[in-house]
Amino acid sequence: MSLLHARLCLRRLFCYWLPLILWMALIFALSAQPTLPELDEPWLDVLLKKTAHFLEYAILAFLWWRALSGGNQSTVRPLIIAGLVSVLYAASDEYHQTFVTGRHGWPGDVGIDSAGVLVMLGFIRWQVEPRNVKRET
């Protein structure tokens, strides 16, 4: 392996895969907390937490797509894989919470997480696809 190839591999690891791994670790660590801070207004607390679920999995889907596509504009396969892996991680995260004292897994959260994943992947598709069409003509 040449030095240039080794540097490219390291760059890819640090730029594309490390942020994804760290984000997944953060999600896991937050799920392992027995309690999370709460706001005084219950409806606002629920709204904030469900919005956080949506956004954290939208970011996860983006990071998966970015790592899998490596900047390549061919999006369909990385989009599908990113979506599937992100939704599976959401389900496993809720299952993980069933083992944490003071927490419980809720299938509705997987639905909220999945909505975040779908919105992000739809946004990526919308942003990247017009560029691909322009290049082909």
Q: Give helix then strand counts, H and E, for the chain.
A: 5, 0
Q: What is the pLDDT of residue 132?
A: 55
- Residue 53's Cβ-count burial label (10 Å; 0-12, 13-18, 19+) is buried
| Pick from 16-30, 68-82, 83-97: least confident | 68-82
% pLDDT > 90, the chain: 69
Rounded to an integer, the average pLDDT of 88-106 is: 95
Task: Quote the pLDDT of residue 137.
Answer: 46
